[in-house]
Amino acid sequence: MSATPELITIAAPIRHDWQLAEIEALFALPFNDLLFKAQTVHRVYFDPNEIQVSSLLSIKTGSCSEDCGYCPQSARYDSDLNPEALMPVDAVLKAAQQAKDQGASRFCMGAAWRSPKDRDIQRVVEMVQGVKALGMETCVTLGMLTDKQTQVLKDGGLDYYNHNLDTSEEYYSEIITTRTYQDRLDTLERVRDAGINVCCGGIVGMGESETDRAKLLLQLVNMPKHPESVPINMLVQVEGTPLHGIDSLDPLQFVRTIAVARILMPQSRVRLSAGRKDMSDEMQALCFLAGANSIFYGDKLLTTDNPMTNHDQQLFDRLGVRMGGSSYA
């Protein structure tokens, strides 16, 4: 039987008016049909055999006042994490050079703050300018920002700001109580208004329903402008955090989430992020087929393990994909 006409549409228009029922219908498609649709959309906007590679460094670790149920950096949980103060600029630049030498084109810096102090922002701007001088794109995730701090980062040359929504608004209070969903949306609005590219996605496998995953993507796709980068994280369970021991998500449901994100946000980089250490090569290959075209490279993602760089290179060789960053559009 031939594919139905709607599954072979070359490219749908970029939309910001999706309804929940439409997104749930995508999740409900037969797996093969969903991946075909996602790959078809993906090929319109991107080289299907090119993966953008980023590297992520924790520049300030632990002692965070937030209570995010997944995070070992919270001061509220006993996760055996050793807190570390904000790193010296030269140490950050050394790590950035190493990441570039290994093929990363974007360097992301994360600090475990609820919100940074103004003096911290000045240090981060020095890091941003140093990384840009190496010829790399820059991204930071620092928590909630004020208007002034956002503008300082913009004036300092920051390319991307990461601030994930994590999950649906309805499920959010099951995961975090120390900041609201609206707090996150307000920070994203400040970043967008300042002219900084937005990196925003979520975490799946936290006990949420498929409807919650659909609602997370609904929030992202109906923003005035789609996030330029959409990280989809699989929960990494860390002993001592409230979500340790929760039932794991079916891997194919994770792949479905990648595919739906690709269909909804055709021009965005969909990043296969946390959790890759626990994914088989075959699962990662399915994610790339579903439209993921960005990964974090290196043996650490902030505080959790990531596949070794040489393993990623071997997987890329087996799949015939290469590291890059350009798109067709």
Catalytic residues: 64, 68, 71, 108, 139, 199, 271
- Let me know: does 208 contact 234? Beta carbons within 8 Å: no
Q: Are 77 and 318 in contact (CB under 8 A)?
A: no
Q: In whole angstroms, how far apart are CA 214 and each of 42, 201, 202, 264, 316?
A: 19, 12, 11, 11, 30
CA distances to 67, 80, 103, 104, 125 from 76, in Å: 7, 12, 37, 34, 29
Burial of residue 36, with CB atoms counted within 10 A of its CB: 0-12 exposed, 13-18 middle, 19 or more buried: middle
N- to C-terminal Cα distance for the chain? 33
